[in-house]
Amino acid sequence: MKYRPLGELQVSELSFGTWAIGGAWGRVDERDALDGLAAAIDAGVNFFDTADVYGDGRSEELLARATKGREHEIYIATKFCRAADIHDPATYSEASVRRFLEGSLRRLRRDVVDLYQIHCPPTAILRDGAVFEVLDKLQAEGKIRYYGVSVETVEEGLLCLQVPGVRALQVIFNIFRQKPAEELLPRAKAQGVGILARLPLASGLLTGKFKPDHRFDPDDHRSFNENGEQFNVGETFAGLGFAKGVELAERLRWIGEGRGNMTRAALRFILDHDEVTCAIPGFKNRQQVQDNLAALDVRSFSPEERARLRRFYEDEVLPHIRGAY
């Protein structure tokens, strides 16, 4: 395992997100989730991303169990705001944010959150900036080590880079969503701001395992948010319609040649960007964790291959992405 800087922390370049084991990705057995977390930690993963709304706190509670006794060596990032009305300024008041934070600390069984992130708030909230003053206060009190923002668009990311206290941005970045590499990633690196690349596999499209007739479980967000019915359309299949995403993924089969499979190749693409602090794929069990970790050992993409992927993104993918990004 290699580690990259996030503030004064050194975090595993391949870390894991816990949305899938919390909920909204189909049923996940608790034993499988804990076994997957144990496999990641045994392999040197020391950083996990979660949120208070993942399974209504389930993923935070699972992380507490998996990291018990290792709180000072396993770092956790969690998020807040989406358990309330994200458009209401009161959601970002000191009293409200303290309530969110205390709830997460209780479920995580910790005294401090290593990275506390605003969970995809509206752009207007970021422009107002009052929530950052609240986070500065909580940081001064030692309740949070660092704070950051999970953003939906490059514009929001660039806006957050104007806030001195922001130490990390969580962005959608993968082969199908390369826009952040143009300006946001270099700017963040120059300012020493960490980048957490979420949805690195585009909700599973970049594993290459889906067929056009695949049907997801009713409680899987991929069955009810394909077109942004419940939340931002970009959070599901990177903003692509499922059928189009499957078609495009099929044309990327070549990336897995000599790299084991498409999953490992897609993760390697992200890790080849040194501006990225870590990629945070999800998982449901030990096998998926191990397959993702295998990306660490596959060969990097050549300049020619990266140029080919860039052309593919610009010519074939970009015209089909829905929503602001």
Residue whose C-alpha is closest to residue 295's, from 22, 50, 12, 5: 12
For the chain, how are helix, strand and coil distributed in percent, rounded to 5?
A: 45, 15, 35
Burial readout 164-183 (b: 16 or more C-beta within 10 A, e: otherwise): eebbbbbbbbbbbbbbbbee
Burial readout 259-297 (b: 16 or more C-beta within 10 A, e: otherwise): bebbbbbbbbbbbebebbbbbbbbbbbbebbebbbbbbe
* Cα-only R_g, the chain: 18
| Distance between CA atoms of residues 1 and 110, nearest Å | 25
* Distances from the Cα of 233 to the Cα of 77, 97, 236, 240, angstroms: 23, 26, 6, 8
| Distance between CA atoms of residues 17 and 6, nearest Å | 16
Q: Is 146 a catalytic residue?
A: no
> Which entry of 3, 54, 116, 147 is annotated as an active-site residue?
54
- Three-state DSSP at 97 gives helix
Q: Catalytic residue numbers? A: 54
